[in-house]
Amino acid sequence: MPDSSQKIAAITLSGKTIYDPLDQSPELVLTNRELEQNLRTKLSGLLLDQPIRTRSKVVKSAIARSLGYPVPRSFLKSKPRFPGQDFDVYVQKSDNLQIWNEELSPARRYVLVRVNDENKVETVKVITGTQLAKFDTTGTLTSKYQATAIDNVNQSRLVSKMDTPDLAAALADPKTDFDRQLIPIEKVYEQLLPLMGQTIPNPGNDQERVRGWELHKMISDTLGINTPIDDGQIPDVTEQLLEIKLQTSPTVDLGLISPGSADAVTVEGQTFRYADIRYAVVYGTVVEDKVRLDHLVLTNGSDFFCYFKSLQGNVVNKKNQIRLPAGFFDEAPPAK
């Protein structure tokens, strides 16, 4: 798989602009980590003390150049501002992020450029809309998709007998750059099914994230993944395009992305749809200080609502201001 410098050189050679879609050129899509590291390096020290409109053009021009794109004579008022790589740009002198006149886009990336008191770029963070939504403390931003099984779940079930056509094609293509560990959905089911009946630690009913991480580690180990990563992005297990849900109650929280969405998502350098992602919904029972794993429901996003029904249609409510947590800009780059 090409590194970021090779991708940037390829972007330049392609002659594409920041507005050209990359659906047919996934090899040119920078990962979140590559995007962040590149912009941190190349924008460091950039002076942004101009009037707001001029400052916006200066920073966007610098970003375009750093990614190997030609700088447009004028920037279109597109949504997002960089459609090809699917990100918007915000210059931040404070921890109060303001997004005006549009809803947060779950799948979109947000490039947050931090400037110091001298208006020079200190660092850059890249974050998705899904991750940004978690910083909303008012509850007005986090309306999200929820679902429940159509019938009572009393046994394990492989809902999708095969992967979506797009993912199946990637599996069959010997030239694919996707991780060689990727296996068909029916094999994933076969490997995970023996976990039912086992237990994971239960740190408390209010520690859902911790419990979920314990299941994440168990599943990763079972699938032969030695270094699982919990970075809050979809899917949880990128190597198997697998999202994990641990259920001790009937309602499945899906976040800001509908499983059947046709929106594009880049995973391990390959572009898929959210509908291609596999969902492992594990139903468990709390037994004292443990959670017993009872039933596994495995489905791809396209078939998700064949087994589950949606409880809510709204994705997100409008919110203009998001308070970024202390130390947000000091965190290490994303893992992927």
Q: Is the peptide bond before 235 cis (omega within 30 degrees of 0)?
A: yes
Q: What is the pLDDT of residues 148-175, one digit of tens each?
A: 999 999 999 999 999 999 898 888 876 6
Domain span including residue 17: 4-142+317-330
Q: What is the pLDDT of residue 46?
A: 96
Burial of 83: CB neighbours in 10 Å, binned 0-12, 13-18, 19+: middle
Residues 68 and 197 in one domain: no
Q: Is residue 336 in a domain? A: no
Across the chain, mean pLDDT equals 86
The sheet with strand 145-149 has its strands ordered as 252-255, 145-149, 308-310
Residues 95 and 191 in one domain: no
Q: Is residue 22 in a domain? A: yes
pTM above 0.75, yes or no: no
Q: Mark the ranges of the chain whose per-residue pLDDT is less than 70.
A: 1-2, 101, 136-144, 174-180, 204-207, 312-320, 331-336
The sheet with strand 109-115 has its strands ordered as 87-92, 109-115, 121-128
Residues 132 and 180 in one domain: no
Cα separation of 289 and 182, whole Å?
34
Residues whose CB falls within 8 Å of the CB of residue 74, separated by 6 or more in sequence, listed in order: none
Residues 180 and 269 in one domain: yes
**Nearest by Cα to 259 from 315, 312, 300:** 300
Residues 157 and 305 in one domain: yes
Q: What is the pLDDT of residue 318?
A: 42
Residues 9 and 113 in one domain: yes
Q: How many domains does the chain have?
A: 2
Q: What is the pLDDT of residue 160?
A: 97
Q: What is the pLDDT of residue 185?
A: 96
Residues 125 and 190 in one domain: no
Residues 155 and 295 in one domain: yes
Residues 198 and 301 in one domain: yes
Q: Is residue 177 in a domain? A: yes
Q: What is the number of H-type helices and E-type strands within the chain?
A: 8, 15
Residues whose CB falls within 8 Å of the CB of residue 90, separated by 6 or more in sequence, listed in order: 97, 98, 99, 110, 111, 112, 113
Residues 126 and 222 in one domain: no
Q: Is residue 29 in a domain? A: yes
- C-alpha separations of 115 from 73, 80, 99, 118, 322 in Å: 25, 22, 18, 8, 18
Q: What is the pLDDT of residues 213-234, one digit of tens each?
A: 999 999 999 999 888 877 777 8
Q: What is the pLDDT of residue 319?
A: 43
Q: Is residue 49 in a domain? A: yes
Q: Is residue 44 in a domain? A: yes
**Nearest by Cα to 271 from 300, 299, 241, 243:** 241
Q: By the 8 A CB rule, do 335 and 172 touch?
A: no
Q: Is residue 335 in a domain? A: no
Residues 132 and 215 in one domain: no
Q: What is the pLDDT of residue 99?
A: 77
Residues 126 and 168 in one domain: no
Q: Is residue 76 in a domain? A: yes
Q: How far apart are the first and last CA of the chain?
A: 13
